[in-house]
Each structure stands twice: as structure tokens, then as C-alpha cells.
Amino acid sequence: MPRNLTYKILKAHLVEGELTPGAEIGIRIDHTLTQDATGTMAYLQFESLGIDKVQTKLSVSYVDHNTLQCGFENADDHRYLQSVAAKHGVYFSRPGNGICHQVHLERFGVPGMTLLGSDSHTPTAGGIGMLAMGAGGLDVAVAMGGGPFYLASPKVVGVWLEGKLSPWVGAKDVILDVLRRLKVKGGLGRVIEYHGPGVATLSVPERATITNMGAELGATTSIFPADEKTQEFMKLQHRGSKFRPLAADPDAPYDEEIEIDLSTLEPLVACPHSPDNVVEAAKLKNVKLAQVSIGSCTNSSLDDLMMISRVLKNKRVHPETSVSLAPGSKQVLQNLIAAGGLEPIVAAGVRILEAACGPCIGMGQSPPSGAASLRTFNRNFLGRSGTKDAEVYLCSPQVAVASALKGRITDPRELGRPPRVQMPENLIVDDSMILPPAEDPAKVEVVRGPNIQPVPVKKKLAPSLKGEVLLKVEDNITTDHIMPAGAKILPFRSNIPAISEFVFSVIEADFAKRAKEKRGGFVVGGENYGQGSSREHAALAPMYLGLKAVLAKSFARIHQANLINFGIVPLTFVDPKDYDHIRQSDELEIPKLAKALRDGVETIQVQNTTRKRSYTMNLGFTSRQREMLLAGGLLNLTKERAGANSQ
């Protein structure tokens, strides 16, 4: 039977379960990546497993999110990450070497391998033919220890590409078009697999832009075949020997299919405050811009920045618009300089940032209050930029550079004929900022600063749950709503008691205070609760505050897994209309929940003692997930099993 590319790779890595859409499977993980905003907690969890050395083929620790060292906390965490990597067999990419997804694509990606990363944009590596997925740090820690990664066997959406992109239209416009069609929850339980003759017209960096933003669909991952373009890219990276061709079988089946004629696309923009709020750039020409930001893991490749440079040559950015640019990696910056591409950018008045995530996660470059900011990034959630009342738009580098010149959102086709961009035939490749693990781990002392606190662990699940509805929220609540990022908050990522003070602060400033006063309780949410980042702090910090369960219409994949990992029970309404009958501050009770989980019961009644009503909730968990919830989370369950095995 012919197979699509996704199921070829899944079959080759399957260790548990059956490849039936919706069924839980366990797969072997070849590579892992972590970044510093999630990595400190992941390595603290790995250390707690008591395993001396990572069991993967390759694990890499990147520092790319929290590079701003405005206090001791970030610097201390970086020192911890470097020392713990050296001791446990992990490669370490130093601050300044670049964004994890860009660097992994350049220096480590291998077609046909699996990659698990503690970052939701890990699917970027699907651009090189990897099956690359984002997950919580605890799942990554377990994978580093040799354990399988569990997921629901996905449906596969085949996206047939034909034609070729027109001048001034970029890969970003492809994924914005997909988002416009499927919306932010359209990829739930699905892998987006690109195929067709149009694939051959896209470079690996263009493909990586598309797979990167597949995360905004809620998809498990996105993937392209490995073909001649992939081989060209890997040869440029001096890694041609790692290439192998990989594609779906002819006539491979897909659960759903979409067709896109690349030649029909035009420049697009995602409007505030969602990546799927997409319109044509030409319709936004009256939007005046205070800021344009170019970069992020979505659009900071050498291809992107060389185009920016050629457009800006002998020009100046608009005097009322602040323009910044962050290269995706040191390699991109070095080659941009060598090709003469940096000077026109600097001369045009663009502010150059270091090779890091920076403004994308609210780490600097926050827009002015009430202003419009145009960004080549992947997310424009409310407040993510660091300015709550800013209007953030997302676009391609082509739209960004045209808009930077005009001071308003601009269809780049207004600029006339695009400049010819000549890419270097040979790349400077310098891995000196990637440090291998220590040859003698016993001599390495792991350095822990005072901000690094132990990982909180939840107690076993109580027989019944009772408490107040601490917060009721709408559809598409993101992890940025639950656990904000930014320069003021991210330094506390290794200190759960400190970072928990900011839980839901974007929505309600005193949430943490009330949660502690009430000794925990419940949150009620709408559709797609927990979309966005993989940050497990959005489960771990609420768990520390006493969150017992979340009742929602539906959950985003990674966040639901993170809730279960930390012993918070995610329940979905059998009848979504029941959501309307619950109010904040209602008292809820879930009798005999632990027994229901042990008995394999599929539904349970939640009692609203304030309103004298009951709601039927789904308990559609696998047996493994039930064990985790009963144990109080994955760490407890892992230790229980380790103790039982030792006896």
C-alpha cells in the first residue's frame, strides 16, 4: 500500500501502538532541541530522572530567547545550561550563534529523522524533510532519556502545490493563505504535508518559513519532501553526505487535500490579533507604521536578508518608522557581511539586532503605545510584543521592506520591478560557537545560580476535586495569555514560585493572588484553549498556584499534553453549550474523579453547586494519561515506575 511521507517516517520510528488516525502511538526520537526559555526547566527535569547521558542520536541546547542580560538571572541560567549540557552529552549553541530553528536547519537537520523540541516552532525542520514536533520540556527530557514520545496518530492533509510564486510574493504568503483557509485550529490532530510540482520551485529556507508557521494552525507538524533543492542546501552547509531523498509514494493517500496554485497568490498580511486574520496587503495601505521588525525564526534566512539588502540599496527607511533587523544565525550574518549585504541595510537606517528571537517574544523593541507594528514574525497575539495596546501585523520580508520605505503597509508591487538577488555559491560555515559535550563528564560541575529553584511536583490526584472557578475565558486563549513572556517575566523561567505571580496577568492582574487565597480551583475555557507556544510554564506555574482542572470546549495539542504532564485534569464539554451556564466564582465539584480514571470511565459529571446544575465532561484519556493524572504528573509516574523496577 502506498504511504505518504509522514507515515513512512512514523512507521520507521514506531515503538508502541498502531498507525490508525486518533490512536495513541509512541515513537523513537532521534534529535532533541531546547532553548533557554524552556530549556532550564527541561534539564532540571532531565537531571531528576537520574540518567547520566542523553540517549538520543543528537541533543542540542540553544540560547536564543533570553539573551538580554539585564540582571543576573539570564546569565546564571546560560551558565547552568552550558555546564549541564557538557556533563550530560548535549551540544551547546552559545548566545549569539542564532535561533534554534535556523541553526538546527543549517547545521544538524537530516531528512527522515525525528526531532522533538521544547519550542512550538520546531516543525521548521520539516523544511528539510524531518518529522519535527514541538512539545513541553518534560516530554523532551523524557525523550533525551531514551523514552518514546507519545502522540495521537495524526491525520495527514496533503497540500498540492503547482505553479511558481510571482515577483514580490514570498513563502510567507503561502502559509498565510493556508491560515486564511484553515484558521488557527484547522490543523489540530493533523500533519500538513506539501507535495506536487510547485514544491521544486521553493528553496529550503522558503519551505522552512512555511513549516515554521504551520504551528499557528495547531498542527502536529508540517513537512516537505527531501529532493534536489534539499541536497543543494545541505551541500552548501558542507553536509551533503547526510542527504537522502525522501518523498511520498506515488498515489499516496491523504485524509484531506488542498490545492494551491502558487502563481495566483499575492502579498498578504495577518491583522491583529491572530495569524489567521489574513487580508491582501493592498487593502491596508492606509495603516501608518511606527515600527517594522524583520527577522525571527520565520523569516531571517540569508535569502530573506539579501533580498532586503538589494531593495534598500541607496534608499532610506521612512523617517517616522523605526526599523530593526535580526539575522537568524551567526552564519547568516557572516555571509551577509561577506556578500556586501549588510552595508546597504545599515546605511538605510535599519537598526541591527543580535542573532536571536528578540522582539518576537517581547524581548526588546516593544512598539509605542497604541501604535501599529509590522513584523515578519509568526505570532501577533495581544500583548506578545510587550505593548498591550499595540496593533501588530504579520507579513513577508517583501511587504516589510516596502512598508519600511513608505512608512505605511505597502504592497511591494508598488515598488516596480524587483531587484535581482544573487546568492553566494559558497557559504562561510563556522561552528566555533557550538560546543561539544565534555570528554570527561565527571570533571564537569553543574553551576546553579540563586534564581534556579527545584521543579515543583504535584501530589497524587485527590479522590474528588472541589473549588471555585477562578477564571472564565473565551476561545483561542493562548499560552501568552496564560503565562506571558517578555523581558520582565522570562528571567524567572527557572523559578516557578516567582514566575507564577504573572499567571493570567494579561487578563486579570490579581489572578495569582486570588488563586493562592482560594487554595486553587478551576479555569473554564472555550475552543482551542492553550494555543501557541509549547512553554510548559503555562501548565507548571498554574499547577503551583493550585489549578486542579481546566474545563474547555477543546484544547490545543501541546498545552493539553503539558496539563496532563503536570497533573492538571483537562476536561472537555460533551455539550459545548454548558460552557455558557458557568460563571466565574461558581463553586464546582467533581466527585469520585480518581475512581472514574482508574475504572476507565469515558464521561463524568461536574456539579455546579452554586447554580444547582451538572455538566457532562469527557474523560477521553489513554490508559497512560490516566496513570499520569492519578500519579500527579509524568515526573511522579516515572519515579514510581523506576522504583518498582528497582525492586
Candidates 297, 254, 27; CA nearest to 159 is: 254
Q: Which of 13, 28, 65, 626 is catalytic?
A: 65
At 526, the amino acid letter reads G
**Catalytic site includes residue 76:** no
Candidates 626, 576, 537, 600; CA nearest to 66 is: 537
Count of residues for the chain? 647
Q: What is the DSSP letter of 253?
A: -
Candidates 619, 615, 576, 579; CA nearest to 598 is: 619
334 and 431 in contact (C-beta within 8 Å)? no
Spacing of C-alpha 532 from chain mean position: 7
Candidates 424, 294, 306, 293; CA nearest to 366 is: 293
What is the C-alpha to C-alpha distance for residues 579 and 573, in angstroms, rounded to an integer? 7
Evaluated on CA atoms 355, 361, 362, 367, the torsion sign reads positive
Q: Which of 64, 139, 411, 480 is catalytic?
A: 64
Q: Which single residue is written with the C-alpha cell 519600511?
A: 404
State which H helix or E strand residue 562 sits in. Answer: helix 557-565
**Catalytic site includes residue 379:** yes
Beta-carbon neighbour count of residue 547 at 10 Å? 26
3-state SS string for 80-102: HHHHHHHHHCCEEECCCCECHHH
Three-state SS for 112?
Answer: coil
**Catalytic site includes residue 535:** yes
Q: Which of 535, 557, 559, 626 is catalytic?
A: 535
Q: Which of 119, 303, 411, 480 is catalytic?
A: 119
Q: What is the DSSP letter of 295?
A: -
What is the C-alpha to C-alpha distance for residues 421 and 523, in angstroms, rounded to an integer? 52
**Catalytic site includes residue 65:** yes
What is the C-alpha to C-alpha distance for residues 354 and 363, in angstroms, rounded to an integer? 12
Q: Which of 31, 107, 379, 537 is catalytic?
A: 379
Cell (9 digits) for 419: 531587484
Three-state SS for 234?
Answer: helix
Q: What angle do CA 538, 540, 545 make, to 5 degrees?
A: 100
* Catalytic residue numbers, as ranges: 64-65, 119, 379, 533, 535
